[in-house]
Amino acid sequence: MEGPPTAMATDTPRRQPTLDEVARRAGVSRTAASRVINNAPYVSQAKRDAVERAVRDLGYHPNRTARALATRQTGVIVLAFSLGEPAVLADPFFAQVIVGVSAALEDTDHHLLLCLAAPGRGLTRLSNLLRTHGADGIMPMSLRGDDPLARIVEDAGLPAVYGGRPVRGEPRWFVDADNYGGARTATEHLIGLGRTRIAMINGLPETHVSETRFRGFREALAMSGLQPHAVEHGDFTEPEGARAMTALLDRSPDLDAVFAASDNMATGALRVLRDSGRAVPDDVAVVGFDDVATAATTSPPLTTIHQPAQALGREMTRMLLAVLAGQDPTPLILPTRLVVRGSA
């Protein structure tokens, strides 16, 4: 006698959740989720907790082959400028930063990739590179306001050491110069020379460096009972320094000193002052900021604030390498100093 027919299994195997689903449930980027799963040290605790909850809730199990690929280092470190013009890399300050970065990488197996992350194709290329694990870490510089570069770096979840600080928020790892102290020293030097009608050519608005240098300038004046005589903004280039100096003279022809937030802008200011018939420093004293190589060759040679541009690049790179090695270094502020020459 035949028994009852054997029942056929009708349940299909349960589909394994994907990394993308874990990321969506946790509310983080795919890269951040991957780094939590691979126990990388450079993810915020809030993101780590959210991803670990999503892994438990979904029953996610990482694919071993994919995990091996995700944790493999590329040997590439990105230095990204939030600027669009390739000519910026010829700027003496940025050129010295690049020299410092290259020196720090010389005895390592890492390679440097320079990126101009301007809105548009530059940002898209960088975003694709970081999203596809094309680099081990990134060093962003020259951020402005609510800069999209900062959001791309955050979403990528890669280790990031900032050159300077963004206006909004303070990153976990950064290297910066003492912009406040340098600007205050420059202004105090002009006050010490007996100047009282002191103007400033500041840098780009919505940048931490410009805001901090203006604060040092303003507070040094306030301590002596003075107010800023006039302020113009430029973009840290020589032509903008000349334009700003022209505007200052039109508005305040009686000014007797100028603090420029970069040597490039100070050089443009010197040219306009000379063309206007004003003697430097007799009529107008001028102090710059950076101490690039050309500061000693202007006419007259430029008094300026020295900031260690090579050291900035070198220390950024050392800090990033330490993060890649699983360490948690402390942010670093590099000292600045006054270099007195003929312009003040």
Same domain (yes/no): 37, 130: no
Which domain range does residue 202 map to?
179-306
Is 7 within the bounds of a domain? no
* Peptide bond between residue 300 and the one before it cis (omega within 30 degrees of 0): yes
| Angstrom distance (rounded) from CA 294 to CA 267 | 9
Asked whether residue 314 falls in the same domain as residue 284, the answer is: no
Residues 116 and 202 in one domain: no
Residue 246 within a domain: yes
- Residues 89 and 159 grouped into a single domain: yes
Residues 35 and 98 occupy one common structural domain: no
- Are 167 and 187 in the same domain? no
Confidence of residue 161 (pLDDT cuts 50, 70, 90): very high
Q: Which residues of 268-282 are buried (b: 16+ CB within 10 A; e: fewer)?
A: bbbbbbeeeebebbe
Residue 4 falls within a domain, yes or no? no
Evaluate whether residue 341 is within a structural domain: no
| Tally of domains in the chain | 3
pLDDT of res. 8? 42
Confidence at residue 62, expressed as pLDDT on a 0 to 100 scale: 67
- Is residue 148 within 8 A of residue 119, CB to CB? The reply is yes
Residues 229 and 200 in one domain: yes
CA distance 303 to 275: 20
Structure tokens at 13: 């195997």
Residue 9 lies in a domain: no
Same domain for 113 and 58, yes or no, is no
Q: 244-271 pLDDT, tens per residue?
A: 999 999 999 999 999 999 999 999 999 9
Cβ neighbours of residue 180 under 8 Å, at least 6 residues apart?
A: 212, 213, 215, 216
Q: What is the CATH number of the domain that holds 192?
A: 3.40.50.2300
Structure confidence at residue 91 as a pLDDT band (50, 70, 90): confident
Does 132 fall in a domain?
Answer: yes
63 pLDDT tier (thresholds 50, 70, 90): low
Structure confidence at residue 169 (pLDDT): 77
Mean pLDDT of 177-187: 98
- Residue 178 φ then ψ, to 5°: -80, 75
- Per-residue H/E/C for the chain: CCCCCCCCCCCCCCCCCCHHHHHHHHCCCHHHHHHHHCCCCCCCHHHHHHHHHHHHHHCCCCCHHHHHHHHCCCCEEEEEECCCCHHHHHCHHHHHHHHHHHHHHCCCCCEEEEEECCCCHHHHHHHHHHHCCCCCEEEEECCCCCCHHHHHHHHHCCCECEECCCCCCCCCCEEEECHHHHHHHHHHHHHHCCCCCEEEEECCCCCHHHHHHHHHHHHHHHHCCCCCCEEEECCCCHHHHHHHHHHHHHHCCCCCEEEECCHHHHHHHHHHHHHCCCCCCCCCEEEEEECCHHHHHCCCCCEEEECCHHHHHHHHHHHHHHHHCCCCCCCEEECCEEECCCCC
Residue 13 domain-assigned (yes or no): no
| Banded model confidence at residue 150, pLDDT cuts 50, 70, 90 | confident
**Residue matched to tokens 């005895």:** 107
Measured CA to CA in angstroms, residue 252 lies from 75, 79, 198, 232 at distances of 54, 40, 10, 11
| One domain for residues 240 and 152 | no
Is the model more confident about 175 or about 106?
175
Domain limit, last residue, from 10, 44, 65? 65
| Paired sense of beta strands 303-306 and 337-339, if any | antiparallel
Does residue 299 share a domain with residue 194?
A: yes
* CA-CA-CA-CA dihedral for 17, 18, 23, 24, to nearest 10: -70
Q: Do both 87 and 172 map to the same domain?
A: yes
CATH assignment at residue 59: 1.10.260.40
Residue 137: which of 123, 151, 156, 121 has the closest Cα?
Answer: 156
Q: Is residue 5 part of a domain?
A: no
Question: Most confidently modeled of 60-74, 138-152, 278-292?
Answer: 278-292
| 100 shares a domain with 44 | no
Q: Dihedral angle at the C-alpha atoms of 338, 339, 340, 342, nearest 10 degrees? A: -130
Mean pLDDT of 324-330: 89
Strands 76-81 and 137-141: parallel
**What is the predicted pLDDT for the residue at 321?**
93
